[in-house]
């Protein structure tokens, strides 16, 4: 093969796709299926974006690449830490360096060795960007300017609004419809205060808009009611001599009775990003010069803003369209000059959109009780899939008879109606202890009130259970034998766990890490993984180590669809323009398949096999 073009559609759900193809609604995917084939695609334990795409990249199970969840825990402190990348600083004179925690050898490393060029747009867990032969733009894993997955700011003239989760709230006082306020930038590590960029807001009520004036670019920016603004380039003075640039855009939610304005997380600016987000370093900016400013943060869609009701569904859909459009422009620009080698572009939006709109497919979804049901949005996901099909059609134009053309998703999407408080279950079953005098619901996140000297197992992340093992955890208590007994106890206790309110089995199985992982990073994996049934997931309080009251809870958030359930129920899709082995293909098969089509042997650690042979 001369070319391999792979289009990633994050979270593209096979059940929806199959139904739509059956109705003839996805003509391009249907054409692919007829030309080559279609199959559901086996995902990873667990069925999450960073885990699954890392397996796609390296062709190994997570034990071979070291990404098991968005979060992991520090065994010395029991605190959750970001699992995708780390900062290392050699001394106080140099900037910290970002280190990718996705390890293993990618198939584009092997292609580069054989001088095969790659163009890779937004593949997750490639931050800092891999030194590929060709071009790479990093995706999921790139933080915002504050270093997290995204810190938005909400401006309000009300004083009784409090910040929720990662967001910041700025209270603005209006004087003759004017206000001097600021955009919040990075935290100063020394003073622990936030760097700020001054802006002035002028309300123009007659035109339902505001004008933001500042030293940024442009110096005058209009924001219309209910609409997203263009990008504003801001500069934070982080020292007498140093500045850091970023880009931010606004959504004006309302002017009456209270003033409410949303500002996106501040994304890296491509001309002078805080850390390189592309390879070569200048490539990200070259792209911006061609297609205009674009979202650089790994999590481009501001689902938090919608989840916290800082803007509405309509605004979120608009934003998803922006992201989709700019990604299409990237893809088309690069395909236009793509001659040979490997091309990849990931579209994250199908995942981010379905998470937030799933509830409109299910009028009975508990989220609707709180936020209302609007039948207008019942088909939003299908409508979006039409657009995805159009994207595929666009890309197919660049495939010739020497091209292997692939469309795939990393996992599917399901309903998320009920959440299990995993730590509370561990508490009720004697595996997790609380300090004397405290009970579930007394403490907050981060295992507050947990008595580590008596705790055998604890849960964090999206369905991970860790054992409190002597010599490994700071206050570990379990010997090898006791750990084995604990493992067996949790497995037998949780398997088949019934949600009595609904008379439904919530947990299908619990697996030990040795059953599903192998390789050099096995020891970093959670000890046990909980496989949920459809409609279930860990509760919102579980990932950061909360021990709330009660076992099951309705999911009342707008984030109403999810995929971190039993991987067997959360498969992705695979389409190729060549006939391929459709008997249980899995993500790990893609690396050998792509390598083989260039005549490059698969890497020693790669576990899958060529689907075309």
Q: Minimal distance in Å, beta carbon 171 to another protein?
A: 31
Task: Report the residue number, 92 or 175, with the smaller CB distance to another protein.
Answer: 92
User: Could you give the CA distance from residue 405 to residue 25 in angstroms, rounded to a whole number?
Assistant: 20
191 near another protein, judged by CB under 8 A: no
CB of 238 to another protein, least distance (A): 8
Q: What own/partner pairs with CB < 8 Å and gap ≥ 24 does 484-491 have?
A: 486/431, 486/456, 486/457, 487/512, 487/527, 487/528, 489/429, 489/431, 490/426, 490/429, 490/431, 490/457, 490/465, 490/528, 491/528
Give dist(CA 306, CA 557) in Å, integer.
Answer: 10
- Residue-wise DSSP of 301-362: S-HHHHHTTSS-HHHHHHHHHHHHHHHHHHHHHHHHT--SEEEEEEE-HHHHHHHHHGGGG-
The nearest distance, CB 186 to another protein, in angstroms, is: 14
Which of 481, 451, 460, 588 lies closest to 528, judged by CA?
460
Minimum distance from residue 347 beta carbon to another protein (Å): 34
* Chosen residue from 88, 93, 191, 599 binding another protein by CB under 8 A: 93
Instruction: Report residue 447 as tokens.
Output: 């295992």
| Residue 247 near residue 233 (C-beta atoms within 8 A) | yes
CB of 72 to another protein, least distance (A): 21
- Beta carbon of residue 329, minimum distance to another protein (angstroms, whole number): 30
**Binding of another protein at residue 485 (CB under 8 A)?**
no
Work out how close the CB of 93 gets to another protein at its nearest, in angstroms, rounded to a whole number. 4
- % helix, strand, coil for the chain, step of 5: 25, 30, 45
- Rounded to 5 degrees, what are φ and ψ at 546? -90, 155
- Residue 575 · residue 406 · CB < 8 Å: yes
Closest distance of CB 47 from another protein, Å: 37
Q: Cα separation of 37 and 404, whole Å?
A: 12
Close Cβ partners of 158 (under 8 Å, ≥ 6 residues apart): 171, 258
- Structure-block tokens of residue 488: 């067996």
CB 391 within 8 A of CB 349: no
Candidate residues 162, 175, 206, 241; the one interacting with another protein per rule CB under 8 A: 241
Identify which range of 87-95, 163-171, 369-377, 562-570 contacts another protein by CB under 8 A.
87-95
CA 349 to CA 328: how far, in whole Å?
11
CB of residue 242 to another protein, shortest distance in Å: 5
Stretch that binds another protein, among 88-96, 177-185, 257-265, 541-549 (CB under 8 A): 88-96
CA distances from 30 to 17, 118, 347, 405, 434 (A): 10, 27, 19, 13, 55
CB of 402 to another protein, least distance (A): 43
Number of neighbours of residue 162 by Cβ within 10 angstroms: 7
* Region from 237-245, 246-254, 350-358, 526-534 binding another protein, contact rule CB under 8 A: 237-245
User: How far is 523 from 208, CA to CA, in rounded Å?
Assistant: 57
CB-wise, 71 or 244, nearer to another protein?
244
d(CA 182, CA 234): 10
Q: How far is the CB of 243 from another protein (least distance, A)?
A: 8
The answer to whether residue 218 forms part of the interface with another protein (CB under 8 A) is: no
Asked whether position 471 contacts another protein by CB under 8 A, the answer is: no
Position 604 contacts another protein (CB under 8 A): no
Helix 349-357 and helix 380-396, axial crossing angle in degrees, nearest 10: 170
Judge whether 346 and 122 are in contact, CB under 8 Å: yes
Binder of another protein out of 24, 92, 115, 160 (CB under 8 A): 92
- Asked if 193 touches another protein (CB under 8 A), the answer is no
Residues in binding contact with another protein, number by CB under 8 A: 11
Stretch near another protein under the rule CB under 8 A, chosen from 17-25, 91-99, 273-281, 584-592: 91-99
Among 23, 24, 88, 94, binds another protein (CB under 8 A): 94
Which residue blocks in 441-572 are alpha helix, DSSP H? 480-494, 513-516
3-state secondary structure of 552: strand
Among 192, 240, 401, 503, binds another protein (CB under 8 A): 240
In the bound complex, what is the minimum distance in angstroms from residue 91's beta carbon to another protein?
5
Q: Which of 191, 242, 401, 613 binds another protein (CB under 8 A)?
A: 242
Of 206 and 242, which has the nearer Cβ to another protein? 242
In this structure, what token pair is assigned to residue 77? 């402190």
Among the listed ranges 102-110, 236-244, 355-363, 581-589, the one in contact with another protein (CB under 8 A) is: 236-244
Does 192 bind another protein (CB under 8 A)? Our answer is no
- With CB under 8 A as the contact rule, which of the stretches 93-101, 218-226, 329-337, 400-408 interacts with another protein? 93-101
Contact flag: residue 583 with another protein (CB under 8 A): no
Smallest separation, CB 92 to another protein (Å) = 5
Which one of residues 22, 81, 95, 488 is an interface residue with another protein (CB under 8 A)?
95
Stretch that binds another protein, among 46-54, 90-98, 320-328, 592-600 (CB under 8 A): 90-98
Helix (H, G, I), strand (E, B) or coil at 522: helix
Determine, following the binding rule CB under 8 A, whether residue 314 of this chain makes contact with another protein: no
Is residue 243 close enough to count as binding another protein by CB under 8 A? Answer: yes
Our finding on whether 90 is near another protein (CB under 8 A) is yes
Residues that bind another protein (CB under 8 A): 90-95, 239-243
């Amino acid at each position: 093969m001369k070319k391999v073009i792979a289009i990633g559609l994050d979270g593209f759900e096979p059940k929806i796709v199959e139904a739509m193809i059956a109705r003839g609604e996805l003509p391009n995917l249907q054409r692919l299926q007829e030309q080559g084939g279609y199959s559901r695609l086996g995902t990873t334990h667990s069925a999450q974006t960073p885990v699954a795409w890392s397996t796609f990249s390296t062709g190994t199970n997570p034990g071979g690449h070291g990404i098991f969840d968005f979060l992991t825990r520090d065994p010395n402190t029991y605190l959750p830490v970001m699992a995708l990348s780390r900062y290392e600083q050699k001394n106080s004179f140099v900037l910290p360096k970002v280190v990718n925690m996705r390890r293993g050898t990618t198939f584009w490393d092997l292609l580069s060795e054989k001088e095969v060029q790659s163009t890779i747009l937004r593949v997750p867990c490639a931050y800092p960007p891999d030194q590929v032969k060709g071009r790479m733009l990093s995706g999921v894993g790139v933080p915002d300017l504050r270093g997290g997955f995204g810190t938005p700011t909400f401006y309000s003239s009300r004083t009784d609004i409090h910040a929720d989760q990662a967001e910041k709230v700025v209270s603005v006082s209006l004087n003759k419809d004017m206000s001097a306020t600021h955009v919040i930038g990075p935290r100063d590590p020394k003073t622990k205060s936030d760097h700020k960029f001054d802006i002035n807001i002028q309300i123009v009520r007659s035109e339902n808009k505001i004008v933001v004036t500042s030293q940024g670019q442009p110096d005058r920016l209009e924001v219309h009611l209910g609409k997203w603004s263009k990008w504003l380039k801001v500069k934070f003075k982080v020292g007498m001599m140093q500045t850091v640039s970023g880009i931010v855009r606004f959504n004006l939610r309302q002017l009456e009775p209270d003033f409410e304005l949303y500002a996106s997380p501040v994304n890296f600016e491509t001309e002078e990003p805080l850390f390189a987000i592309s390879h070569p370093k200048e490539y990200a900016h070259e792209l911006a010069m061609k297609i205009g400013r674009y979202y650089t943060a790994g999590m481009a869609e501001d689902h938090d803003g919608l989840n916290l009701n800082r803007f509405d569904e309509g605004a979120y859909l608009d934003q998803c369209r922006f992201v989709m459009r700019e990604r299409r422009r990237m893809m088309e620009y690069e395909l236009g000059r793509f001659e040979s080698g490997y091309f990849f572009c990931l579209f994250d939006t199908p995942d981010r959109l379905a998470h937030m709109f799933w509830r409109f497919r299910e009028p009975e979804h508990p989220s609707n009780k709180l936020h209302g049901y609007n039948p207008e949005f019942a088909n939003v996901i299908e409508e979006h899939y039409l657009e995805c099909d159009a994207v595929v059609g666009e890309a197919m134009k660049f495939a010739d008879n020497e091209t292997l053309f692939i469309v795939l998703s990393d996992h599917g999407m399901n309903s998320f109606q009920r959440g299990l408080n995993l730590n509370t279950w561990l508490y009720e079953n004697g595996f997790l202890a609380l300090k004397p005098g405290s009970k579930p619901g007394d403490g907050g996140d981060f295992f507050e009130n947990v008595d580590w000297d008596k705790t055998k197992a604890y849960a964090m992340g999206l369905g991970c259970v860790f054992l409190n093992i002597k010599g490994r955890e700071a206050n570990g208590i379990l010997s090898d034998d006791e750990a084995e007994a604990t493992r067996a106890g949790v497995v037998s206790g949780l398997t088949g766990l019934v949600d009595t309110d609904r008379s439904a089995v919530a947990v299908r199985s619990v697996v030990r890490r040795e059953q599903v992982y192998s390789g050099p990073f096995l020891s970093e994996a959670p000890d046990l993984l909980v496989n949920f049934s459809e409609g279930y997931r860990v509760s919102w309080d579980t990932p950061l180590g909360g021990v709330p009251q009660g076992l099951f809870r309705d999911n009342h958030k707008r984030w109403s669809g999810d995929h971190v359930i039993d991987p067997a129920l959360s498969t992705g899709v695979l389409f190729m323009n060549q006939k391929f082995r459709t008997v249980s293909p899995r993500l790990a098969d893609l690396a050998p398949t792509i390598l083989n089509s260039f005549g490059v042997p698969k890497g020693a650690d790669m576990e899958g096999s060529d689907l075309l042979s």
